[in-house]
């Protein structure tokens, strides 16, 4: 039944190719034209992830959107390495296209997205985007960002790359991020995001609110009877106080992190819903101008 059946989630689902996960095993991996070889950190077994194997795995998982296997360079890197990984990613994309069946193992159509690479070099990004658009894919991702470059560099790359991609296809920024980065990227033409930040932050007691970020472990919240965010409609804010959630965290109770995860995810989805409504109303610039200062700093 795939992941939809296993999790009972009937909404859209995206799976990554495994390329970034191999990249994160720095010192334990090796990339060749065939694929990514690495040592499994769980049992020490040597593995080889090829474009074909990545497609086979994602085919069986049954996700609605599947990502190509790409070669992700570490930053900083050399121009030669940057160009080599970008062009290898294009060759791997063609192998992914050939390997992915028309329908998933569950009989549904799957949508393969290509990933624009090229680091912070305009010429390489343009070459990558041009080659991907030639393949007329269902959607396009912008990868290789949020991996060590500055925020200014990320904005410059997005401002250059997004106009090269079709307006009638989803444009997906991978691995980003903070609310302010997402709002900036939307203004530059990005449609989709993924990031572990809402739940990772919850595990570290960081809360996103409409008035900025809270460190809920701080002693000043010990007897605070207010919700995390007075303007939030999530389950956590409707039922629990800052003081009680802090108590759960200090006591090592998993419920504390769960409640923060619920809130952070609700905050992110609500922010994106508001952004979408502002776009439809033609008022996104005003919306971003109001919300960027609110989400960028610490709450009072």
pLDDT of 19 above 90:
no
Q: Whose CA is closest to 140, among 183, 181, 192, 185?
A: 192
pLDDT single digits (tens) 116-141:
999 889 999 999 999 999 999 999 99
pLDDT at 293: 94
Q: Residues 83-106: what's their mean pLDDT? A: 94
DSSP 15: E
pLDDT single digits (tens) 208-226:
999 999 999 999 999 999 9
Selecting among 16, 70, 181, 191, the annotated active-site residue is 16
Q: Residues 88-99: what's their mean pLDDT? A: 98
Q: Whose CA is closest to 131, among 111, 143, 117, 119?
A: 117
Share of the chain above pLDDT 90, in %: 79
Q: What are the φ and ψ backbone dihedral angles of 182, each rounded to 5 degrees?
A: -65, -45
Does the active-site annotation cover 194?
yes
* Positions of CATH 3.20.20.105 in the chain: 2-195
Q: Residues 164-182: what's their mean pLDDT? A: 96
With cut-offs at 50, 70 and 90, classify the pLDDT of residue 9. very high
pLDDT at 26: 64
pLDDT at 107: 87
pLDDT at 300: 59
Q: Residues 67-93: what's their mean pLDDT? A: 91
pLDDT of 40 above 70:
yes
Q: Whose CA is closest to 122, among 169, 156, 77, 84?
A: 156
Q: Residues 13-24: what's their mean pLDDT? A: 85
Q: Which residues lie closer than 8 Å to 76 by C-beta, 6 or more apart?
A: 148
Selecting among 64, 94, 194, 224, the annotated active-site residue is 194
Does the active-site annotation cover 229?
no
Kindly state the tokens that stand for 136. Answer: 């007329």
> Rounded to whole angstroms, how far apart are CA atoms 281 and 86?
38
Beta bridge mates, 172: 141, 192
Instruction: For domain 2-195, give the CATH number.
Output: 3.20.20.105
């Amino acid at each position: 039944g795939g992941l939809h059946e296993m999790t009972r989630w009937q909404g859209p689902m995206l799976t990554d190719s495994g390329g970034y996960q191999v990249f994160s095993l720095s010192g334990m991996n090796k990339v060749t034209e065939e694929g990514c070889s690495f040592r499994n950190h769980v049992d020490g077994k040597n593995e080889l992830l090829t474009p074909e194997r990545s497609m086979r795995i994602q085919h069986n998982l049954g996700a609605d959107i599947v990502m190509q296997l790409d070669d992700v360079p570490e930053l900083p890197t050399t121009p030669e390495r940057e160009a080599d990984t970008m062009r290898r990613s294009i060759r791997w994309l063609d192998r992914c296209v050939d390997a992915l069946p028309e329908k998933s193992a569950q009989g549904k159509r799957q949508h393969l997205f290509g990933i624009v690479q090229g680091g912070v070099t305009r010429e390489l990004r343009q070459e990558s985007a041009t080659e991907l658009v030639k393949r007329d894919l269902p959607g396009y991702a912008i990868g290789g960002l949020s991996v060590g470059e500055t925020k200014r560099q990320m904005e410059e790359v997005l401002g250059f790359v997004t106009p090269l991609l079709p307006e009638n296809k989803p444009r997906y920024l991978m691995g980003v991020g903070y609310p302010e980065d997402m709002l900036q990227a939307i203004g530059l033409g990005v449609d989709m995001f993924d990031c572990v930040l809402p739940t990772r932050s919850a595990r570290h007691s960081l809360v996103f609110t409409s008035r900025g970020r809270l460190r809920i472990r701080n002693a000043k919240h010990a007897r605070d009877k207010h919700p995390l965010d007075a303007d939030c409609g999530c389950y956590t804010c409707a039922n629990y106080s800052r003081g009680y959630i802090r108590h759960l965290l200090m006591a090592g109770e998993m419920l504390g992190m769960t409640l923060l995860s619920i809130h952070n995810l609700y905050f992110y989805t609500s922010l994106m819903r508001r952004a979408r409504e502002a776009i439809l109303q033609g008022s996104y610039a005003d919306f971003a101008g109001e919300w960027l200062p609110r989400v960028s700093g610490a709450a009072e």
